[in-house]
Amino acid sequence: MDAAEDGMWWYRAVHARLIDTLASRPGIASLPLLDAGCGTGGFLRRLGTASPRDSFGLDYNARAAGRAAAKSGRPVTAGTVNALPFPDGAFGAAVSVDVLSHAGADQALALAELRRVLAPGATLVLNLPAYEWMFSAHDVRVHNARRYTARRAAALLRGAGFTHVSARYWNGLLLPLMILQRKVLARGSGHASDVGSFPPWVDRLLHGVTEIERRAAPSLPAGGSVLLAATRP
């Protein structure tokens, strides 16, 4: 992840969508933002160039948390999303990318904790992998335990006490290629994840497709990921 996230097309695409969503739904801009499950800090660093807002990171892996702090220049702590080490109402927004789907995340506890550390009026932004039928060797390698539909994910947020929930698919134009890769070409249990380096021309092509979608077709009926935004009432 550390080697791939600064250049790989998927990371650049999801980071752009997170920033777009936070621009339209900033929550309480006077309070800091939490990146819950920040990995090695790619989004925290990207956010630092896109917004003057204070931000904090948290990751379960202590080595990843240390790398994230060094990479982003932001405070990052090691801890679990199931028991966030922050006071109530500390943040004006929170972002969490493909964390609720992780085998180590308890959905109910994690959402309750995110709600607790967000101030009333704050925004929660989640990215989640789409469709249980898309489960593959990639998910095993990245420790995903579950995948979601937009409707199911939105219902989870409402059930956890969030309001003004929006949910939409993205990465729809590339979904046929994802299906081919994960369900046909790399369907064996020994295959690697999709996270890695691509030939530069392939990476530019894939990222270009995501940018066309982002600008011309931001809402599609299907996609490889679900992007959600909600308000902590």
Residues 147-172: pLDDT tens digits?
A: 999 999 999 999 999 999 999 999 99
Predicted pLDDT of residue 46: 94
The residue-averaged pLDDT of 85-106 equals 97
Examine residue 217 and state whether it is found in any structural domain, yes or no.
yes
Q: Looking at 97-169, list the stretches that DSSP marks H as alpha helix, in order from N- to C-terminal side.
A: 107-117, 137-141, 150-159
Report the 10 Å Cβ neighbour count for 218. Answer: 12
Burial class (CB in 10 A: 0-12, 13-18, 19+), 116: middle
Predicted pLDDT of residue 218: 79
Examine residue 3 and state whether it is found in any structural domain, yes or no.
no
Q: How confident is the model at residue 137 (pLDDT cuts 50, 70, 90)?
A: confident
Examine residue 2 and state whether it is found in any structural domain, yes or no.
no
Strand pairing report for 163-170 and 225-231: antiparallel
Predicted pLDDT of residue 183: 83
Predicted pLDDT of residue 210: 97
User: What is d(CA 48, CA 94) in angstroms, rounded to the nearest whole number?
Assistant: 15
The residue-averaged pLDDT of 127-146 equals 92
pLDDT in tens, 177-186: 989 988 887 6
* DSSP state at residue 182: I
Examine residue 39 and state whether it is found in any structural domain, yes or no.
yes
Examine residue 54 and state whether it is found in any structural domain, yes or no.
yes
Burial class (CB in 10 A: 0-12, 13-18, 19+), 20: middle
The one-letter amino acid at 212: I
Question: Is the separation of the CB atoms in 147 and 215 below 8 Å?
Answer: no
Examine residue 103 and state whether it is found in any structural domain, yes or no.
yes
Token pair listed for 136? 């593959």
User: What is d(CA 90, CA 73) in angstroms, rounded to the nearest whole number?
Assistant: 20
Taking phi over 0 as left and psi of -120 to 50 as alpha, with beta for the rest, 81 belongs to alpha
Report the 10 Å Cβ neighbour count for 51. Answer: 15
Predicted pLDDT of residue 189: 66
The pLDDT > 70 percentage for the chain reads 98
Question: What's the chain's average pLDDT?
Answer: 94
Examine residue 33 and state whether it is found in any structural domain, yes or no.
yes
CATH number at residue 19: 3.40.50.150
Q: Give residue 99's domain range.
A: 9-231
Q: How confident is the model at residue 110 (pLDDT cuts 50, 70, 90)?
A: very high
At 220 the three-state DSSP class reads: strand
pLDDT in tens, 1-60: 888 888 899 999 999 999 999 999 999 999 999 999 999 999 999 998 888 899 999 999
The residue-averaged pLDDT of 72-77 equals 97
Number of domains comprising the chain: 1
For residue 170, list its beta bridge partners: 225
